[in-house]
Amino acid sequence: MTPPKTLRQVSAVDDDPTSTPAEAQAAPDLFRQAVASLTSTSVRAEVRVEPLRPPQRLAPYSYAIAAEVRVGDGDELATGRLVLLHDPDGVEAWDGLLRLVAFASAELDPQMGVDPMLPAVGWSWLTGALDERGAHYRAAGGTVTQTTSTRFGDLAGPRTTIELETRASWTADDADMGPHLHAFVDLLCAAAGLPPEGVTVLSPGT
């Protein structure tokens, strides 16, 4: 069995790869604890995660990761990024001090494109995962966009593809980022069509 992967440990306050050690040490304890929790959380083996340069203008302190879902040496099934924001003074729209911003994208089976409830289902993948993982959160909001593309002429690939993009943000009530990262990974894996972690899908006739 392939062991679960853990985020590569980097500086717990490396929100800017060009920052000096002194600047890193100046980050608030709450942010340092949140990043340490995020980088020490293991994820399922099909998901590859790595640090990503975060946006610099959304909050005084930020940290980001990129994630992709693959099975074995196969194609990329879903991609996403998760950004942790911290403002020691708080932000009224956040209703808190720590905000998570997520983006997830996956190409789905074209047959799913005829389902008018697909965006609602996509949103439930996130909120359901947050609840099931026991994440302490509030003020969640976002959009789910369903796009249908049809290829013509000499373009290679399936004639019709369905892409689902989820953009969401929510406020974390504490610095325990493990449940939030697990929920984000669950969203990616659901969009990629993988079964829940620990569930084995039997082949027909088994």
**143 forms bridges with which residues in the sheet?**
167
Token reading at 127: 């909120």
From the list 162, 157, 182, 186, the residue with the least C-alpha distance to 172 is 182
Phi, psi (rounded to 5 degrees) for 136: -90, 105
The per-residue pLDDT string of the chain (206 residues; one tens digit each, 9 = 90 and over) reads 444 444 433 323 333 433 434 445 578 999 999 999 999 999 999 999 999 999 888 999 999 999 999 987 778 899 999 999 999 999 999 999 999 999 999 988 777 767 788 899 999 999 999 999 999 999 999 999 998 877 776 655 656 778 999 999 999 999 999 999 999 999 999 999 898 876 554 444 54
**Residue 19: per-residue pLDDT:** 42
Residues whose CB is less than 8 angstroms from the CB of residue 81 and which lie 6 or more positions away in sequence, other chains included: 52, 64, 65, 66, 67, 102, 103
**Residue 181: per-residue pLDDT:** 98
**Residue 198: per-residue pLDDT:** 65
From the list 118, 127, 115, the residue with the least C-alpha distance to 169 is 127
